Amino acid sequence: MAKHAAVIGSGVMGHGIAQEYALAGYTVSLYDLKEEFLSKAKNSIENSLSLLVSEQVITELAKQDALERIVLTTDLRAAVAEADVITEAIPEVIEMKWELFEKLEHLAKEDAIIASNTSTFSVARLIERAKTPHRFIITHFFNPAQLVPLVEIVRHESTSDEVVSTVMDLMVQIGKSPVLLKKDVPGFVANRLQAALMREAFHLLKEGVADAREIDTVMKDGIGFRWAFVGPIETADFGGLDTWKRVIENLAPVLDASQSAPALIEELVAKGELGTKTGSGIYSYADTSVEEKWKERDEQFIRLGKMKRG
């Protein structure tokens, strides 16, 4: 089993993945191109760990131990030289990933597993130029990676059974809930479900059925409240398949079937209003701290995680 993990890319996803490995006792090399990126990642990890301490999920000692296990570096060779598993968490640009994978195949140990956190590309696309395709796999974490349990695992027919088994066990060891997909489909499972729901939510918003806050309340205090413990397929069983047969037959013809992003999103993106990252999106964050909103979100995720675990 792996003892040393490397994470390539220290951004939103990378630093959270590194944190999970470190908390589970693994030595972690966290690589990025610039020291300033790594400094920002270190601050994010420290803040996240401090939040776990304040919520009594971990001790102060566990926090310090985890921080000591994370080695920050801008030297790719040093980052991967001893790694048993390498997680790629760089931007979703296929040429960048191909270039990185070529380097990793040359620099990493021959038996090192190379995993991608992609949410966009198929595993077949990722390994088009790989010389050792048997050790490539997708481990799709969810944002924030250090708090959301799900990891979607996607293999290629070339991926060895040993790699799949090792990765599944590894995800459990670091506290995740891995799901191994039987087929490699665009968006995997979670993003397809999210996209279907988001499409209908923005359609309802456009049609004036409810405003954004009301639609979010329906999700958080209704559907999402149930789905935290009872999935959609279980919900159908619990509600009665005859009932859900009628519900779907009645609603399917009138649900939104748009083939592109909602016009509202297109308009806001064109204006540079991207949500919390710019201080304005569907909602305005002019009168509130985005950092405080993120902190509140993470606190709630931590509390939900504690409840689900015990």
Catalytic amino acids? 119, 140, 152, 191
In the block, which residue shows the tokens 């456009």?
Answer: 206
What pLDDT is attached to residue 309? 87
Helix (H, G, I), strand (E, B) or coil at 178: strand
Report the phi/psi class of residue 114: left, alpha or beta, with left for phi > 0 and alpha for psi in -120 to 50: beta
Q: Is the bond leading into 144 cis (omega within 30 degrees of zero)?
A: yes
Q: CA torsion sign, 75 to 80 to 85 to 90?
A: positive
Q: Count of residues for the chain?
A: 310
Mean pLDDT of 38-64: 97
The residue type of 192 is: R
Residues 85/63, Cβ–Cβ less than 8 Å: no
Residues 20/174, Cβ–Cβ less than 8 Å: yes
In the block, which residue shows the tokens 């991967």?
Answer: 80
What pLDDT is attached to residue 287? 82
HSE-CB for 20 with a 13 A CA cutoff: 25
**Distance (Å, rounded) from C-alpha 138 to C-alpha 154?**
5
Domain spanning 4-180, CATH class: alpha beta
What pLDDT is attached to residue 1? 53
For the chain, the distance separating the N- and C-terminal CA atoms, rounded to the nearest angstrom, is 27
Residues 8/176, Cβ–Cβ less than 8 Å: no
Please say if the pLDDT value at position 2 is more than 70.
Answer: no
The string of pLDDT tens digits covering residues 136-173 is 999 999 999 999 999 999 999 999 999 999 999 999 99
Report the phi/psi class of residue 159: left, alpha or beta, with left for phi > 0 and alpha for psi in -120 to 50: beta
Helix (H, G, I), strand (E, B) or coil at 19: helix
pTM: 0.93
The residue type of 57 is: V
Q: What does pLDDT average to over the chain?
A: 96
**Distance (Å, rounded) from C-alpha 102 to C-alpha 174?**
27
The residue type of 186 is: P
Q: Provide the 8-state DSSP code for 278.
A: T
Q: What is the dihedral of CA 155, 156, 158, 163, to 10 degrees?
A: -10
Give CA separation, 104 vs 110, 131, 180, 240, 289, in Å: 10, 11, 24, 51, 39
Using a 10 angstrom Cβ sphere, with 0-12 exposed, 13-18 middle and 19 or more buried, the burial of residue 254 is: exposed
Residues 170/85, Cβ–Cβ less than 8 Å: yes
The string of pLDDT tens digits covering residues 73-118 is 999 999 999 999 999 999 999 999 999 999 999 999 999 999 999 9
Q: Which fold has domain 190-309?
A: N-(1-d-carboxylethyl)-l-norvaline Dehydrogenase; domain 2 (1.10.1040)
Domain ranges of the chain: 4-180, 190-309
